[in-house]
Amino acid sequence: MTLDVSTLRQTWPRPSRPRPIVIIGAGGIVRDAHLPAYRKANFPVAGIYDLNPAAAEKRVAEFNLPRAFRSIEEAAAVPDAIFDVATPPGAHESVLEQLPDESVVVIQKPMGRDLEGARRIRDLCRRKRIKGAVNFQLRFSTFMLAVQDLVQRGEMGEIVDVEFRLNLQTPWELFPFLLKEPRVELLVHTIHYLDLIRLFLGNPRRVYARSVKHPRFPNLASTRSSVILDYGDQIRCCLSINHCHSFDTKHTDASARIEGTEGCAIATLGLLLDYPRGRPDRLEVFARSNRQWQEVPLSGGWFPDGFVGVMSNVQRYAAGEDAALVSSVEDGFETMRLVEACYRADAEGGVPL
């Protein structure tokens, strides 16, 4: 019996009665992804707060939001809210401290600046009994939900090869806050792929990594990375990430390949090829049942659909409609452990000749 690839899951079920969302932070990612996602899903947004009142007011005008909160205390007082903490990683801990105990929260990735910061956030959530998820929205993108479905149906067999490859120009000027950060590429970008690999394969045994700067961006801590994850002698897993390919678009690439003993999936991350406008995402699969390459017709993409998925899962978990948080704070801490291991491997270096 052949597989109809159009039946692969691409969306997360919506909550039956979504709670109001309070957004804390009004930066570019909120403009480009959070608010378009909530508008697309018809999720109610109660208002937005930012340390810069002008930024919050600008988002209110752009998206016709009910209000800009004058203080974080005012934002935290909204009853029965889901708090969307879309702040820079160094600010997460302070914001969470000011939210009510037992709040329901989505925390923008990464979960702090380093593993120690992530540990404090995890422990804070435990102490305050916060139901928290980290916004690893690539897990919820249309194409990756479809790949997860393909694996769960047994169409891939045993996963034996995972590769992420980027060769493109990222507009770093859109992220001026990164100029002050001691860690950039692995922590802010490749963390998405490391997190997704953990979803499919769990934690690796060992890590080999190198993350480097580029002469055109001397003030950024790093813009290119090479990573190998050791899952034993039956699985190859590697990442080749170059954000500084400035030679037109002929050879640009943003792809993920997940290969099993019986099938394979290759995704094109179109968003990254012309960020933040993006190009269409693509997914091609070779399933056990079909034995031929087929393109999966996608109903959306990474932005904004992945953000819809994260919030849907959090809303449904808060209402008792989902049994678990897919990207919980506890699981997010494990991804931060993997990122930290990459930085340790980078610092310790390889074997000299």
Quote the distance between the C-alpha of residue 125 and its chain's center.
20
| Residues 293 and 316 reside in one and the same domain | no
Asked if residue 128 is part of any domain, the answer here is yes
For the domain that residue 53 is a member of, what is the CATH number? 3.40.50.720
One-letter amino acid for residue 58 of the chain: K
- Give CA–CA dist 350/82, Å, rounded: 45
Q: pLDDT tens across 59-94, in order?
A: 999 999 999 999 999 999 999 999 999 999 999 999
| Residues 118 and 208 reside in one and the same domain | no
Closest-CA residue to 117 (of 19, 187, 220, 178): 187
- Give CA–CA dist 27/278, Å, rounded: 19
Q: Which structural domain range is residue 51 located in?
A: 11-138+307-329
Asked if residue 217 is part of any domain, the answer here is yes
- Give CA–CA dist 24/143, Å, rounded: 29
Quote the distance between the C-alpha of residue 36 and its chain's center.
16
Q: pLDDT tens across 140-151, in order?
A: 999 999 999 999
Asked if residue 232 is part of any domain, the answer here is yes
- Give CA–CA dist 104/147, Å, rounded: 28
∠ CA 68-72-74 to the nearest 5 degrees? 70
Is the confidence at residue 267, as pLDDT, over 70?
A: yes
One-letter amino acid for residue 71 of the chain: S
Q: What is the mean pLDDT of residues 238-260?
A: 97
- Give CA–CA dist 258/151, Å, rounded: 10
The b/e string for 282-314 (b: 16+ C-beta within 10 A; e otherwise) is bbbbbbbebeeebebebebbbbbbbbbbbbbbb
Tokens standing for residue 312: 């849907």
Is the confidence at residue 349, as pLDDT, over 90?
A: no
The reported pLDDT for the residue numbered 351 is 66
| Residues 266 and 242 reside in one and the same domain | yes
Per 3-state DSSP, the chain is made up of helix, strand and coil in percentages (nearest 5) of 40, 20, 40
Is the confidence at residue 222, as pLDDT, over 70?
A: yes
Cis, peptide link before residue 218, omega less than 30° from 0: no
Asked if residue 321 is part of any domain, the answer here is yes
Contact 183, 114 (CB under 8 A): yes
Closest-CA residue to 23 (of 324, 275, 333, 307): 307
Q: In what order do the strands lie in the sheet with 253-260?
A: 206-212, 224-230, 236-242, 159-167, 253-260, 264-268, 282-286, 293-295
The reported pLDDT for the residue numbered 264 is 98
| Residues 151 and 275 reside in one and the same domain | yes
Closest-CA residue to 66 (of 80, 43, 45, 86): 45
The reported pLDDT for the residue numbered 175 is 84
Is the confidence at residue 280, as pLDDT, over 90?
A: yes
Tokens standing for residue 22: 């309070």
Q: pLDDT tens across 167-179, in order?
A: 999 999 888 888 9
Asked if residue 4 is part of any domain, the answer here is no
pTM of the shown model? 0.96
Asked if residue 182 is part of any domain, the answer here is yes
Closest-CA residue to 3 (of 140, 142, 141, 156): 156
| Residues 107 and 165 reside in one and the same domain | no
Asked if residue 352 is part of any domain, the answer here is no
| Residues 270 and 311 reside in one and the same domain | no
| Residues 148 and 85 reside in one and the same domain | no
| Residues 157 and 108 reside in one and the same domain | no
Is the confidence at residue 352, as pLDDT, over 80?
A: no
| Residues 55 and 124 reside in one and the same domain | yes
For the domain that residue 247 is a member of, what is the CATH number? 3.30.360.10
Number of domains observed in the structure of the chain: 2
E strands, the chain, are 21-24, 45-49, 82-85, 104-107, 131-134, 159-167, 206-212, 224-230, 236-242, 253-260, 264-268, 282-286, 293-295
- Alpha carbons within 13 angstroms on the beta-carbon side of residue 256 total 22
Q: CB count, 10 Å around CB of 13?
A: 12
